[in-house]
Amino acid sequence: MTDGVNNPEFQVPPELQGQVNVTSIDRIYNWGRRNSIWPMMFGLACCAIEMICVAASRYDFSRFGMEVMRPSPRQSDLMIVSGTVTKKMIPQIVRLYNQMPEPKYVLAMGACASGGGPFKEGYSVVSGVDKFVPVDVYVPGCPPTPQALLNGLITLQKKIDQQSIGTVRWYRDEVSEPIPIPVLGPDLLDPRDFPNFNELKAAVRTASSESPEAEAAS
């Protein structure tokens, strides 16, 4: 139990100490979630090697209740974006994020995922995954050490400790809208930047179906 669970704001009678813990719904709810985070099992580049080291025996993040890495986004709580995010890959990342159930979190691991890194000026690299999905924790480094990733995971746990059932987004009345999936064309197009994106997308599909390459393929 956390210190908040063991030491509530009011005291338990002496005859019940050691048998009863008094706490709030938020504290026990957050305690359960922070110690059972299931990261998604995928990596993008060299940062993924450091992430593998964290899961291995020397660093062993199962000590923090995070060892169950799931190959399916529908069973994952945490997306660790570990490596260079290219314009070809960001539509897949957004699609995976949309498939994750709430509550869900994103950790940007390394300089590339956080801001583009040494490839920021490249034509094929996204300058930070936070331009498309909300990031909860940034872990600096190129690549970060396993200790740095562990610190980032502990930072996420501390952030979860501060959440309240009454204010978190997954318990609000309004419907949670999925993030529009970017389209890779001559350049990366974010649907949120184009109010008439549906018409534009239909026009692009019509033009591509009428192209000589499409006719040859058919």
Return all residues near 98 (Cβ < 8 A) that are at least 6 apart. Answer: 178, 179, 181
Q: What is the CATH number of domain 35-171?
A: 3.40.50.12280
Domain ranges, ordered by start, for the chain:
35-171, 183-217
Return all residues near 36 (Cβ < 8 A) that are at least 6 apart. Answer: 65, 68, 77
Report in angstroms the alpha-carbon separations of 190 from 90, 91, 126, 193, 194: 10, 10, 12, 6, 7
Alpha carbons 83 and 85: distance in angstroms, whole number? 6
Per-residue pLDDT of the chain (218 residues), as tens digits, is 445 555 556 677 777 777 777 778 888 888 888 888 999 998 898 989 999 898 888 888 888 888 888 899 999 999 999 989 999 999 999 999 999 998 999 999 999 999 988 888 788 899 889 999 999 999 999 989 999 999 999 999 999 999 888 888 888 877 777 888 888 878 887 887 777 767 766 776 677 666 655 555 44
* Cα-based angle 31, 64, 12 (whole degrees, multiple of 5): 35
